[in-house]
Structure 1
Amino acid sequence: MHSELETRVSKKLMWRIIPFVMLLYFVSFLDRVNVGFAAMSMNKAIGLSSAAFGFGGGLFFIGYFLFEVPSNLILHRVGARIWIARVMVTWGIVSAASAFVSGPASFYTLRFLLGIAEAGFFPGIILYLSQWFPSRQRAVAAAWFMAAAPISTAIGSPLSGAIMQMKPMFGLADWQMLYVLEAIPAVVLGFAVLRCLTDAPAKAKWLANDEKTWLMAKLDEEASARNAQHGHTGAVLAALCNPRVLALALIYFGTSAGLYTLGIWAPLIVKQFGYSPLQTGLLTGIPSVAAVVAMVLWARHSDRTQERTWHVVVPCLLACAGFVLAAGANGTAAIVGALVLANVGISAAKAPLWAMPSAFLSGAGAAAGIAMINSLGNLGGFVGPSVIGWLKNTTGGYGAGLYVVAATLAVSAVVTLVLGRKCGDDEAKPLAQAHR
């Protein structure tokens, strides 16, 4: 049974922190994948082939990979409030500058710079949540935060489609207006972060003294239980070399390949059936609505049972099946149904997966380890879209590339199962015992 104090603190954390970080990620994801809608007219305007578009779309993750760990270590040192604000303003400026690309070289450059600008945002927020939410709430908190990605697709896809149908303004083409209009919220919210984000529970003026004392004691208690079970993995080098960190990065690689294949290519895959940009946006948004519901319900079940392994394996296999079906789909209903399975699987896997690192990482080691998982794993966001583009140029269709992405998700499921058997889900046991 939860005490009245615990319930009160939990509600305050959920209402004070989660809606705001969801809004930040909503804008982040929108600026990452709106290139899929811009491509409807941008590719022809600046002379991009399918292979060049897929390669450039994925270059975001190379810049992201190179600067992820340093960025998260800086965040750990200076605090989330200042660093997340810097990240958002920078990526907003770079995203707006994407409106002025003029060919493959400038497109590649701006996608790479966007990755550098945004490096540290996602793992920074995951680290931030682990510093506020006890283990019993962690997967649900992460799920609500990450639900902003499918929500961004559900709302942002029709929005992007509508912008693409606007009449040209200020001498800008439709795809140029898309980049500029959707970059403005990032800059505005960057300044809002300085006012709205609190760095740590000790600085939370919006918690009463007894609430603050309980929360800090609870987090310290869980850290002690974690260190007694696994040792203190707080050193940066130890975290970066930890086999579990590398295994989780490989698992995340498959989910990232799937997520960004959907984000970057789904609009073009759907549009091939003859739909307008707005209709494409509406159809692309449908799977994301199902993904939000599945993500939150699945994370609640994972937190309630304190089980992570099968809560990652099953969704990865579901997403794998979705991509296999999408490869063979030849009609609107079939492709949307397949995309529903893929979206639900990828989204549901993420929260239980991100609940795993905080079970054996702490301090600067957590900052480095979480960033390493995200940076290596997000290389899947380069491989997936790039493979789709290259194979489409080679084969003339999307099927072969979708099969490759399905295979990466099958690998994620297998690696999760092996890791779970090796560790025996022990990372959850001391924390579960601490709640008894």
Structure 2
Amino acid sequence: MSNINLLSVIKKTKIRLIPFMLILYVLAFLDRSNIGFAKESYQIDIGLSNEAYALGAGLFFVVYAFLGAPANLCLKKFGARNWIGVTTLAWGVLSAGMGFADSEVKFLTIRVLLGVTEAGFFPGMIYLTSQWFPQANRAAVMGLFYMGAPLAMAFGSPLSGALLELHGFLNHPGWFWMFIIEGALAIIAGIWTFFYLDDTPETARFLSAEEKQLLANQMQSEENNKKAASAKLMDALKNPRIWHFAIIYGCIQCGVYGLIFFLPSQVASIMGSKVNFMTSLVTTLPWLCALLGTFFIPRYSDKVQERRNTCATTLLVGGLALGLSAYVGAVPAIIALCIAGTAYFACQPIFWIMPSSILTGNALAAGIGFVNMFGALFSFGAPILRQHSENIVGTPAAGLLSIGIVVIIGSILIFVLPKNVGTND
């Protein structure tokens, strides 16, 4: 009699897939957000205004938004290995190309193209997770995957700060080396994908035939038991709940990118210095805290099998903390930023369990892409909202408050969801 059980297969799958997904997410997040570290010197060197910087930081998300859903359907059609491998290679090349963006036009153009190539990655990872891991284990798995973002910022902060110190090496500015080296890492990862990733449990090279069948049967059983009655593509867009989720995710992403793109310069202002290696070390603190929160809070959600209140409360605390950071001293402000960063990332793995609990098939692939699209649109608006709020009121506090209010609205929208959403009840 076989000793194989589902838990052992899930553990084996975690060991195989999670480190891979985590590394790719670290690189993706680093390549889209590293302009935050280069902000001051890069703007001075190429003559980029604050408004153009905010526009470029946000433009990435415009094409990223509208291409998310079709990219996810391409992943389903062409297979995860080929699709993710090609797109990772492409965004690595473009990220490295930022080193040659020495004018406003080049900067804006490459940011748009980077959004095109990264559009399929994140929703693709969410969809991939829904195909490989049972729902009862998914929040913890997503929590491990989501650690990629704070990891990228925690370790990417000192890496980016150190690379900026290469200013003048071979007659190039520090930001040139930062973009080139961090883009090259993504190119290597794209090549690795073609040799490592399997498309589905049925084609998994690391599982035995019996293990493949056991996992595939479990995933098919969950698909059959979902409350959604149909798997048609348009069902996702006709479902009011998906629009509800989309707005919530938009509010979350507004908080994430309203914080990330300005955190290095904000920390430098708190410390009374310029963005350098020392400030990059302090900038890692919110992301180290986020690592802990993203590890433990989704596990708590899995343990109690409760999604709504855990997600909403976490997000609410994050919104309040960001607003508070504008009105306290240096040390309390850093603590508040740590709380905000933790909340924005720790709530997301729990959030993604909810839409995947009511959709299946093409509707799931398209629904994830659609929700992610709204998140990208709000991400586009986040740096612009923060910058304009500061310009209108004349104080950085206004920018922080505007982002915090949007986040709090998102938490309220979660609280009004049905209590059992995202569970097996």
Sort the TM-score into its range (normalised by shorter chain).
over 0.9
- 1:292 alignment partner, SS class: helix
Equivalent position of 1:67 in the other structure: 67
Q: Does 1:241 align with 2:238?
A: yes
Please give the alpha-carbon distance, in whole angstroms, between the structure 2 residues aligned to 1:84 and 1:116: 13
- 1:328 alignment partner, SS class: coil
Residue-by-residue CA offset, 1:115-153 (whole Å, 9 max, x unaligned) = 111101000011001100001111111111111100111
Q: Which amino acid aligns with 2:235?
A: A
Please give the alpha-carbon distance, in whole angstroms, between the structure 2 residues aligned to 1:107 and 1:393: 23
Following superposition, the deviation at residue 396 of structure 1 comes to 4.3
Following superposition, the deviation at residue 70 of structure 1 comes to 1.3
Gaps of 5+ in 2: none
Please give the alpha-carbon distance, in whole angstroms, between the structure 1 residues aligned to 2:157 and 2:297: 24
User: Residues 308 and 421 of structure 2 are in contact (CA less than 8 Å); yes or no, is this contact kept in structure 1?
Assistant: no
User: Residues 293 and 342 of structure 2 are in contact (CA less than 8 Å); yes or no, is this contact kept in structure 1?
Assistant: yes
Q: Does 1:428 align with 2:404?
A: no
Please give the alpha-carbon distance, in whole angstroms, between the structure 2 residues aligned to 1:114 and 1:241: 30
Please give the alpha-carbon distance, in whole angstroms, between the structure 2 residues aligned to 1:322 and 1:111: 30
User: Residues 306 and 420 of structure 2 are in contact (CA less than 8 Å); yes or no, is this contact kept in structure 1?
Assistant: yes
User: Residues 286 and 340 of structure 1 are in contact (CA less than 8 Å); yes or no, is this contact kept in structure 2?
Assistant: yes
How many percent of aligned residue pairs carry the same amino acid?
A: 33
Q: Which amino acid aligns with 2:9?
A: V
Residue-by-residue CA offset, 1:19-61 (whole Å, 9 max, x unaligned) = 0110000000000110001112011112222222112111110
TM-score, normalised by the number of residues in structure 2: 0.96
Please give the alpha-carbon distance, in whole angstroms, between the structure 2 residues aligned to 1:357 and 1:276: 39
- 2:280 alignment partner, SS class: helix
Please give the alpha-carbon distance, in whole angstroms, between the structure 2 residues aligned to 1:427 and 1:21: 23
Of 243, 257, 261, 2:258 maps to 261
Matches within 5 A, 1:79-90: 79-90=79-90
Equivalent position of 2:362 in the other structure: 364
Equivalent position of 2:339 in the other structure: 341
Residue-by-residue CA offset, 1:308-367 (whole Å, 9 max, x unaligned) = 111210111111112111222342x12211111101111111011011121111111111
Equivalent position of 2:295 in the other structure: 296
User: Residues 88 and 187 of structure 1 are in contact (CA less than 8 Å); yes or no, is this contact kept in structure 2?
Assistant: yes
Of 392, 399, 406, 1:408 maps to 406
Residue-by-residue CA offset, 1:237-281 (whole Å, 9 max, x unaligned) = 111232111111111111111111222110011112215511111
Q: Does 1:316 align with 2:315?
A: yes
Following superposition, the deviation at residue 67 of structure 1 comes to 1.3
Q: Does 1:418 align with 2:408?
A: no
Residue-by-residue CA offset, 1:57-97 (whole Å, 9 max, x unaligned) = 11110010121111111111111110001111111111111
Matches within 5 A, 1:32-431: 32-226=32-226, 229-232=227-230, 234-272=231-269, 273-331=272-330, 333-420=331-418, 424-430=419-425
RMSD over equivalenced CA pairs, Å: 1.5
Please give the alpha-carbon distance, in whole angstroms, between the structure 2 residues aligned to 1:275 and 1:42: 13
Q: Which amino acid aligns with 2:280?
A: G
Gaps of 5+ in 1: 431-436
Following superposition, the deviation at residue 220 of structure 1 comes to 1.4
Bigger mean CA deviation after superposition, 215-224 or 145-154: 215-224
Please give the alpha-carbon distance, in whole angstroms, between the structure 1 residues aligned to 2:249 and 2:182: 27
User: Residues 90 and 187 of structure 1 are in contact (CA less than 8 Å); yes or no, is this contact kept in structure 2?
Assistant: yes
